[in-house]
Amino acid sequence: MIPLPEPFLKQMQDLLNANEYEAFSKSYLATSNRGIRVNQLKIQKKQGQGDASPCRGLARETFATLTAPLGTASPRSNLNSPNLKSFDLNSLNLPVPWCKTGLYYFDDERPAKSLAYHAGLFYIQEPSAMCPAEVLGVERGHRVLDVCAAPGGKSVQIAGHLGGEGLLVSNDASATRCRALVKNLERAGVTNAVVVTEQPKKLAERFEGFFDRILVDAPCSGEGMFRRDSDVVKAYTANKPEACAAVQTEILRYAATMLKAGGRIVYSTCTFNPIENEGVIAAFLERHKDFSLVKINHDALGIEAGRGEWICNDDLNLNYTARIWPHLTTGEGHFIALLEAAQPLSAADMHTMPHIRNEASSASSKYKKAAQPLYSDNMHMVPHIRHEANSASSKSKKIAASTGATASPPREFSEFCEEFLRMDFPIGAYVLHGVNLYFQSVPLDLHGLRVARSGWHLGECLKGRFVPSQALAMGLCEEQSRYSAELSEVDAFKYMRGESLHYDDSQEISSSKPWVLICHDGFPLGWARLVQGRLKNNLPVGWAIKV
C-alpha cells in the first residue's frame, strides 16, 4: 500500500484521542473488506418472511447451493475448469450487520466468475456501502431518486426494496459512468427504473416535490476508501475536503427541492472529514428549517454515532448521524445522515397555531412550495402531466399528448408477446426512441433531459418484427417465456462466452425460429433463436465473459 497523505494523518490525529488513533492507524495494515448483497428481486428471504413474487423469488437458503464451488459433487455443478475460480458461500455465511441481505466473502474468492453473478442473483459491493440504502427506508410503491447513482450498487439495492413497484430514477452526471449503471440495473432484472445523466439543478427544475425518498451518496474526498483504492490516495490533496463540501452542499440543496413533504433524504459519504459530513449537515439544517435529523439506530446496526463536537455544534442533534469505522467494524469508512422534511400543517393546526403560519410565510418561496402537497394521494405522480379521469382512454390520450408515449404497445411488440411470452404487462407507458422500445410503469415527462434509459428496455422494432433485448430477458422469470432452455453448467458457460449450442428439446414448438429464454437453475441469462436444432446466441457482445 502506498503511504497515506500527511494532511490526512494529521487531521485524524487531531480528531481522535491517542488510543483511538492507534487502533485506527493499525486498521490500515489489514486488507479491505469485501461483500456481496443478494438481489431481493430474484431471491426471497426464508419461507414466510419474504414477499417476493413466487416466480421471481428463490429461497435464501438455496442460494449457497447455486454458488457452490465448481466441480464439487453438488448436483447443480458438473463443471471442473481450472480457469474458473470457486466461489463458496457455504463456508462463509457471515452476515453484514447493517444489511440483512449482505454477506462477506474472502479476498481470494472470485464471485464475478460464477453463473449466479451473471444471472443477477447478487451484486458485489463493499460492505459499508450497503448501509445508506438500508437507512433510507424505501417501501413498495415509493418514488425514489438516486442522485449520484453510478456504478449502481445502491440503485440495485433500492430496486430490491421497491419489489418492482413504484419508480426509481437513477442519475449520474457522467454519461460514461452511466454505462455501468445501466448494465448493473439490467443484470439485476430491474424493470421500474429510469436512468438519466443530468446535473442535480436540472433535475430539480423538473421534479420539484416529487420523490418520497432521495439518496445523495455524494462525491467526496474518499478518505474511507484509502485502504481499498490506491488511486483515491494519490488524488487526495489538503484542500480536497473543502472543495468537495461545496459540491455536496449544492447537491443536497437541490435534492431538498425534489422531496415531498414528509419525505426522507439519506446523505452519505465514504470519508471521515467532519467538514464534508457533520459540517455539511449542520449548514443544511441552518438554511432549511423545515428539515430535521432522524436518529439512526446505531446499536441495532452495529455502527457509531456522528460527532457534533467536532464542529462545535451540539444543538442540531448531529449525534443522530452515523459513522462506520474500519477499526471498530468490518467495513470501510462511511458517514450517513437521515433527514426528514416536515409534514404540511393541517387546516386545524394552522387555525390554532398562527405563529407557525407566520413563520412559514417568511420562508423562501422555493421551500414554501416544497412544503405543500403537490398532488393528492389518488393521483399518478407525473411531473408536468395533469391527471385526468382514471379511464384508460383518457390516460392514454394525456400521456401521448404530454410525453410522446402511448398506453398501448406497438404492433410488433404485441405480436412478440402473443407468440413468445406468457404474461400481461401492467398499465403504464410505452416509449419509442428510434427503433428502441421502453416501458415505464410510472409515465414520466423526460423531454429536455439527457436520458440513458427511458425505462425498461424491451427491445427493437425492426421492419415489422421485434427483437427482444437483454434487459427484457433479465427482467423476466422462466415461467413468463413460452419457450425456455434449461442449460447445464457447462453449456451455460458456453452460452455466456457467446457460443451457439446444439439443442434437442421435447417442447411442442408452434413457431418458426422461436425466441428461447436461456436459463440456468431457472434463472435467465439471455436470449437465443432456435434454428434447425441449434440455439443461435443472441447475447450482446458487452455481456459475453472471457475465460
Catalytic residues: 270
Helix, strand or coil for residue 434?
A: coil
State the CB neighbour count (10 A cutoff) for residue 62.
Answer: 12
Omega prior to 241 cis, within 30 of 0: no
Nearest to 257 by CA among 356, 350, 382, 372: 372
Scanning 288-381, the segments in alpha helix (DSSP H) are 298-301, 347-352, 354-361, 365-370
Cell of 284: 443544511
Cα–Cα distance measured from residue 89 to residue 104, given in angstroms and rounded to the nearest whole number: 9
373-378: list long-range contacts, CB under 8 Å, 24+ apart. Answer: 373/260, 373/261, 373/344, 374/208, 374/209, 374/210, 374/260
Strands 334-341 and 95-96 come out as unpaired
Nearest to 188 by CA among 458, 475, 543: 475
Cα–Cα distance measured from residue 470 to residue 542, given in angstroms and rounded to the nearest whole number: 11
Half-sphere exposure of 311 (CA within 13 A, CB side): 22
Distance, first Cα to last Cα, the chain: 29
Cα–Cα distance measured from residue 352 to residue 354, given in angstroms and rounded to the nearest whole number: 6
